[in-house]
Structures are given as structure tokens and as C-alpha cells.
Amino acid sequence: MHERSSVAELAGLLRGELNRYSPGEKLPSSRALVERFRVSPVTVTRALGALAAEGLIVTRPGAGSFRAAPPTGNRPTGDTSWQEVALSAETADEPVPRSVDASAVLATLAAPPPGVIELNGGYLHPSLQPERALAAALARAGRRPGAWGRPPVEGLGELRAWFAREIGGPAGTVAPSDVLITSGGQNALTAALRALAPPGAPILVESPTYPGLLAAARAAGLRPVPVPADTNGVRTDLLAQAFRASGSRVFVCQPLFANPHGAVLSTERRGEVLRVAREAGAFVIEDDFARRLVHEDAGPLPATLAADDPDGVVIHVCSLTKAASPSLRVGALAARGPVLQRLRAIQVVDQFFVSRPLQEAALELVGSPAWARHLRTIAAELRTRRETLLTAVRRELPEPAEVRHAPAGGYHVWLRLPDGTDESALTATALRAGVAVAPGRPYFPAEPPAPHLRLSFASAAGPPELVEGVRRLRTAWDD
């Protein structure tokens, strides 16, 4: 059994047995639990730790584990209604709203209820994550000289150099000094938005696009302006019009396997994006989230936009999180020119620096043979899962539902629904049928042209679960 599942299962069994013990009564020893449940000592330790964190048991080194006393119920019940006034008291000229709508982001972060198949997730299923390699990397990192000391605010030099090679490609067009280490891609994206646009300013975004970008922009008081995209990426003719009409100085795009539709920016449009932005005196934020999620049957990948940009138009954002683990919050910002100092200042003010042990662990991971093996493994697995999901969709769902583009990278497909379909009702019915899917509305910065669903094939347990998930979606559709 997978270690994480074993811990959760054992914790659940022990939680159900706690009523057998009086408060303060000692639980069976760890050795007895190992023998009874046929699990490892590590699993027992972690399960007991989970119960202790919930306040259900108390562990005493050398003595054992004991059932905790129930809460006294003396928690004060004050009156917090005054906060409604304080939180909503905005001045007329306040440019940044203090309320933030994170619902679309939380939908992809929250674990589904038990028994529900997750087709709306944004991360690899635990079975696809390189947990052994991560554990080994973390162990080696902890033994590195100075691993627990204060790192440079820009990030470790070796890690900056690694990201520079990844971003700049064989030509070496990105230098380590152009790179800042960040706490994942979302942190990098938020920092770039704050650096480049003042509150109240318009920013151009692809339509549809990643809801986390829209939430971050609105939280910073920015106004997302949609620029339609098709199977070749953003419409560059409309991009030029949008720059002129809005006066924006920022365009955010995902040139490679864009979320949610999976398109790759065509060769012709790559040059046009840079030309149009340069003529508008604008920056391009390149969100390169999916480069390490390429599928086995994909052809050669295009270089990053940053690799083809000597003039500092592109601010590049990437991370290790999507291809490794949700908890490996290590990413990078790459930029040239004076904007790099502004980005550095924002990073320092926001977080001082990224945890050094985490940076050291990232270095150990990407420098090991296990990293290359892991990327090959997920390339093959993601291709298999994509084909399984597409086959199930075509077999199970009515003809008006259509996947217009089968991406060769990333972890999701974009399903066009028949006109008039109520996305919210379908999503809610699907959840009752036992499958979680993502409605299309949150991916559009303005009114969507049609109803959609985004289906993830990375967060499910495997191909059989993908097939069952689509079958449950069909049940919801029929309902």
C-alpha cells in the first residue's frame, strides 16, 4: 500500500478506537501496533503524530501515547460582528479591494470528499510524484554544509545557474545573475504583477487563462483585459488592438501547453508577441508552468520566449512544483535590466528569502539521475492518461461535447459543452455522482463565449479511475 494511504488508514482506525480508552489511559505500544496492523514503525509513528496534531492523544517520550482529555468547552464566545464594518470600510478612491475571491483557486487545491474521483486537480497524483527521490534529496540536503544557514536573498548560486540553463537553453542566453529564486510559480507571478503594474492599471491576459492569475491580478487591484486565444495561442492581431485600446504595459501569457486549453504558441506568433509588446513599450510575463510536463509523443519543444529576447521584454516565470510535488515550492523569475532590481526588492520585502533547506533539496533533486528518470516516467504516464481520458470522453459523452485540441503536454483537456449548458448545475450534479470537475467560467476574465469544463488527467489514481470518472460525469449529464 502507498505509504501516505497507509498512514491515513491507520490513523482512521486508531481514531475510531479511542472511545475504548478513558482520558489519560495509555494506548498500546508502537511495537504492538506494528504487529497488529502489519505496518512499518514509520507508519505507526506518523499515524500517532497525526492524532496528536488533532489533539486526540498526547505522546510522552519514553512513556508512550495516551488519550487526551476532552476539551473543556470554555472557549470564549465573543462578538465579532464589528469586523464586518471594519473589513468593508473602504474609501471612495481605494484602488485595491481588500476582499479577495480565491474560490476558483481553492477548488483545485482542496482535496475531494472520500470516494470522489478528482478530475479537477492541479497537481500530480501522489503515485506520480517522485517521493523517494524527494525524501533522499531532502536527507542529503540536510547534511550539506551550511544547509540551515541564511541563503543569499536572490537564491543559491548553483540553483540560479541551473534555472538559467533551463530557461536560456543551449545558447545560454540567460545568465545566473538574471534569475531570482521564488517560493513557487504563484509567488513569482504575483511578484511580477506587483512590479510591473500599479493598482488600477489594466493588464492583458489570454482568454481563457489560469484562474490563479486572475485572482492574483484582482487582489493587486489590476484590471484583467481578455485577448482571445485559439489552437495556435493568443491572437496577435487582437493583442495589438488590445494594447492600443487599453494602454496596458503588461501581457501575461502561457506560450507552452496553456492552461486550460493546452495550445502551444505558433512559431509565427512567437515573434509577433515580442514585436507587438516591444512597440507598445510593454512587458510580457511568460508563465512557463508546463515545460516539465511534456508528453512522450510530443515533438521538440520550442525555446522559451525569454531565450529569444535580448531586450528585456520578457519576465519569465517557472517552477519545479507541478512536475514534482505541491510542497516543493521552489520556482524562478528571470528578467533583464532595471526591472530585475524591482523584482528583487519586492521578493525581499515579501519573504526575505526562500528556505535554504528547500533550495538545497531542489538542487539535490534536479542534480540526481532520479530526476531525469522521473521526467521520462511522467512523460509516458501523462500520454497514457491523456489518451485514456480522451477515449472515455468520446465514448461516454454525447456528441455535442467536444475536445477540440488534444495537448501534447500539461495535465488537462478543455471540453466544449453544448450551448445553453448550465456549467454550475452540471458540476454540482457531477460531484453528487462522485466526480469533481472544474467549470469553465472561472477561466474567463469576462463573459465566456460558450460553456466549458476542464478535466484533469494527472490528479486521478490511474487510467481505470479516469474511465470511471467520465462514466460518472455521463451519469450527471443524463441527470
Domains of the chain, earliest start first: 3-67 (1.10.10.10), 103-129+372-478 (3.90.1150.10), 133-366 (3.40.640.10)
| Residue 53: per-residue pLDDT | 87
The percent of residues above 70 in pLDDT, for the chain, comes to 96
- Distances 131 to 323, 360, 407, 423 between C-alpha atoms, Å: 12, 16, 26, 36
- CA–CA distance, 183 with 155 (Å, rounded to integer): 10
Provide φ and ψ at 64, rounded to 5°. 125, -160
Tens digits of per-residue pLDDT, 294-325?
999 998 999 999 999 999 999 999 999 999 99
Query: Which residues lie across from 67 on neighbouring strands?
Result: 57
Task: Look at residue 1 and tell me whether its pLDDT is greater than 60.
Answer: no
- Distances 332 to 159, 160, 216, 265, 447 between C-alpha atoms, Å: 9, 8, 17, 21, 32
- Distances 207 to 211, 235, 405 between C-alpha atoms, Å: 11, 10, 16
Residue 96 pLDDT level (bands cut at 50, 70, 90): low
- CA–CA distance, 3 with 375 (Å, rounded to integer): 22
pTM of the model: 0.83
Residue 429 pLDDT level (bands cut at 50, 70, 90): very high
Termini Cα distance of the chain = 36
**Burial category of 217 from C-beta neighbours within 10 Å (exposed 0-12, middle 13-18, buried 19 and up):** buried
| Residue 399: per-residue pLDDT | 77
Tens digits of per-residue pLDDT, 98-111?
667 777 777 777 77
Cβ atoms 449, 261 nearer than 8 A? no
Indicate left, alpha or beta for 40 from its phi (over 0: left) and psi (-120 to 50: alpha). beta
Half-sphere exposure of 263 (CA within 13 A, CB side): 21
| Residue 144: per-residue pLDDT | 85
Task: Look at residue 207 and tell me whether its pLDDT is greater than 70.
Answer: yes
Question: What average pLDDT does the chain have?
Answer: 90
